[in-house]
Amino acid sequence: MSDKATTKIHRRPMSPTDTADFEGHPPPLFLEAINLESLLNHLEDARPSIIADISEDQTPPARYIIGQELGSGSVGQVIEARDQHLGRQVAIKILHDGEGLSRDGIARFVAEAQITAQLEHPSVVPVHEIGIMPGGMPYFSMKLVKGRSLGDVINHLRIGDREFRRAYNYLARLRLFQRICQGMAYAHAKGVVHRDLKPGNIFIGEFGEVQIMDWGLAKTVKSPLPDFDEDPVATVRQASGMNTMGGAIAGTPAYMSPEQARGDYIHIGPQSDVYALGLILAEFMSLTRVYRQATFQSTLEAARTPSGEVDIRTLAPGATFSHGVDRVIRKATQPDITQRYSHAGELSTDIAKLIEEQLPPSSIKRSIHTADYDEDLDMSGNTHTDIEEEPPSWRPYLIGAAAVLVVEVVAYLLWRLG
């Protein structure tokens, strides 16, 4: 494989929700702090056999039986496979062999597997192993996630799908978003910034599990949470000095922080993920994407110079939102990085407070109040909800009970007098 820098060729115009990963200069040569060939040779020695058809005659028996393609991008493709050794379905991500392949591309791919594997959290997909396909391309296997993306959920809510309205009412959305924040808080504690958070990279499993996907653009930084005893993530790129340099722009324009859209590499950190989370929360609540420009480049320009923090009330003028959720989104999307939450853990704490405010105030009420507050959602996608309402009053129940007691006392006295 060539050491020369290569340019990725896009076969269609890029949209605002496409992922950008391009450099302002050629990628650095692979340094000698770690030998990529040695790593790949080691994987070559340990690689299992893989076949595309169970009917093929292979000796020894193949470990993976390749199934259908689950997705494909500019870097690689994800396929479903059957792990013959452990008797389970898995997902396998394979690096593409194309014009964009380089030493840096291979190192990025290996680093993605390493980062994902070291983020051992319920909201991060477990990685099982890394190896090389018989054709020579690196791959890693991971848990097969069955479910739908948050982007798909938002689209169903936009069109007024009644089933989704019931499943994802106001309080349910806050709870789901908090689980996303908890997963990112763990990543930030491990010194990892995702850099490509968006509804399409967040999956909701069939049993409600939340999985943050696609860590291919992740960056390692110093953890902003020194009080947590977590070992920092280490990757082949980090060890060899191949981390992205200044001037690089990586991510999805519609969900980029200003510093990320400008390629200000030095200042990209956990607060950049916080900004993306704020954009996601605003969209999840209002069902309107913050950056709605028509082209990739115009969206990138808008993200570079935002006019101010995001005001959710302007996204959905016909809706009502509590001051609490509005305040959280404003703080998460401050253009000034120093004015935002410093990491996802702080954002998660404030979301927890919003959730607590919506719960009945006593344990008795909590036990009988089985349904979360729901809202009306019209076909335009506007949410008619005001979570500042007081919880249902108990006064009518007390008046009714008192009335019954009075009737019983009067009946008793009449019986005695009779």
Active site residues: 196
Query: 124 and 166 in contact (C-beta within 8 Å)?
Result: no
Residue 129 phi/psi, 5-degree rounding, is: -160, 165
**Eight-state DSSP code of residue 225:** -
Residues 89-118 as b/e (b if ≥16 CB within 10 A, e otherwise) read ebbbbbbbeeeebbbbbbbbbbbbbbbbbb
HSE (CB half, 13 Å, CA atoms) of 194? 32
What is the H or E stretch that residue 357 is in? helix 344-358
Collapsing DSSP states into helix, strand and coil, what is residue 241? coil
Spatial distance between the Cα atoms of 333 and 274, rounded to a whole number of angstroms: 8
Residues 290-321 as b/e (b if ≥16 CB within 10 A, e otherwise) read bbebeebeebbebbbebeebbebeebbeebeb
Spatial distance between the Cα atoms of 393 and 384, rounded to a whole number of angstroms: 21
Beta pairing class for 147-149 and 210-212:
unpaired
The alpha carbon dihedral of 315, 317, 321, 324 has a sign of positive
Query: 150 and 199 in contact (C-beta within 8 Å)?
Result: yes
Closest of 43, 40, 33 to residue 1, by C-alpha? 40
Distance of CA 118 to the CA centre of its chain: 17
Collapsing DSSP states into helix, strand and coil, what is residue 63? coil
